[in-house]
Amino acid sequence: MQEIVDFIRQLYNSSEFIPLHAPVFMGNEKKYLNECIDSTFVSYVGKFVTQFEEMTASYTGAKHAVAVVNGTAALQIALTVTGVEKGDEVITQPLTFVATANAIVHAGAQPVFVDVDRDTLGMSPESLSDFLNKNTSFNKGVCFNKITGKPIKAIVPVHIFGHPCRITEIVEIARKYNIKVVEDSAESLGSYYQGQHTGTFGEVGILSYNGNKTITTGGGGMIITDNEDLAKRAKHITTTAKVPHPWEYVHDEIAYNYRLTNLNAAVGVAQMEQIEEILENKRKTAQKYQTFFEMKNAVDFIKEPINSHSNYWLNAILFNNRNERDAFLKYTNERGIMTRPIWQLMNKLKMFKNAQTDDLINAEWLEHRVVNVPSSIKILN
């Protein structure tokens, strides 16, 4: 284990505390923030919000992008505009950050958890197909859960740590059952599957710009879609459903104050200007990790899946068992190297303990073995 600690310290050229993923501001962030402040447009009205949306749409290949306050809100609204309502169910995976499941509940639905693949860490198409085949029926074009009697309105696969899941197969299965796909791409800005950016395969996708993401706005999220009507509705209900008028305050439904501020967007524009350099830097870091762990032949480095180009947001390694994992976590954190286990499975949290699941064999296996190692942007020698 000391060899790994020494390698990470050499990699980041630091004898101090090494965080898991720290933000880096190396461009026009301060310049644009000053410009934003001088303009007095610091809330959700301002040129940087529009510019950030346009840059994101262009970069991902989506036709439309709507900036919101965070990734959780983005996922909630994405589910809402695709038709998820109170009393519905949404299928997702248990191996994810809690925001995925929370957003489903915020949208009024209940999560159902199906297993993941060991290589992608994302939703398993086989598990999804098997669950739908065994547990659902059709009535007037709507897919219903035979166990609960509730309609299944959406499927939310997650691209974990920036590694694309087998999204084309998931979309194909969803179409067979007339269910919308909403991609949780919060961690995968700059990741591609079969040459197409994540978040653009389903009806809607979302991105996150939390402080630890590949690029950050401090806090922020983005809804991306090719559907103009869904984009317009997302923008409307995230801006308090205000009917456009030069001075009148008229609102036509109960909605949300979820739009991203111009201040946050100013940082996002500056970060997007550096996106290619950032991604190249992170890829070099991942390659150094991969080479190191292949030489040691004791711990497996989690590589990008087949047909994928990953942003390597968080680098991850795989231990043989939980005891080895826990010993490594203790050893590294006590020595100033921040490492962390993958999240506890959602169905084990008290809020979701009664949720329907399949066997979750792979998710359980991964939960006890995966550890994230420092993955910050760093100018490497």
Buried-exposed string 322-337: b where 16+ CB fall within 10 A, e elsewhere:
eebbeebeeebeeeeb
Per-residue pLDDT tens digits for 101-113: 999 999 999 999 9
Inform me whether the pLDDT recorded for 352 exceeds 60.
Answer: yes
Fold type of domain 2-22+275-373 = Aspartate Aminotransferase, domain 1 (3.90.1150)
| 26: helix, strand or coil | coil
Instruction: Give the helix/strand (H/E) hosting 358.
Output: none
Per-residue pLDDT tens digits for 16-39: 999 999 999 999 999 999 999 999
- Mean of the per-residue pLDDT values of the chain: 96
pLDDT at site 379: 56
Whole-number Å distance between alpha carbons of 21 and 25: 13
Domain boundaries, the chain: 2-22+275-373, 29-272
- pTM equals 0.96
Q: Which amino acid is at 309?
A: H
Per-residue pLDDT tens digits for 154-192: 999 999 999 999 999 999 999 999 999 999 999 999 999
Per-residue pLDDT tens digits for 55-77: 999 999 999 999 999 999 999 99
Whole-number Å distance between alpha carbons of 177 and 153: 10
Q: Which two tokens stand for residue 155?
A: 């499927």
**CATH number 3.40.120.10 given to 29-272:** no
Whole-number Å distance between alpha carbons of 268 and 216: 6
> Which of the 8 DSSP states describes residue 13?
T
Q: Which two tokens stand for residue 122?
A: 């994302």
Buried-exposed string 156-194: b where 16+ CB fall within 10 A, e elsewhere:
bbbbbbbbbbbbebbbebbeebebbbbbbbbbbbbbbbe
Per-residue pLDDT tens digits for 77-96: 999 999 999 999 999 999 99
Neighbours of 353 (CB within 10 A): 9
| 257: helix, strand or coil | strand
Asked if domains 2-22+275-373 and 29-272 share a fold, the reply is: no
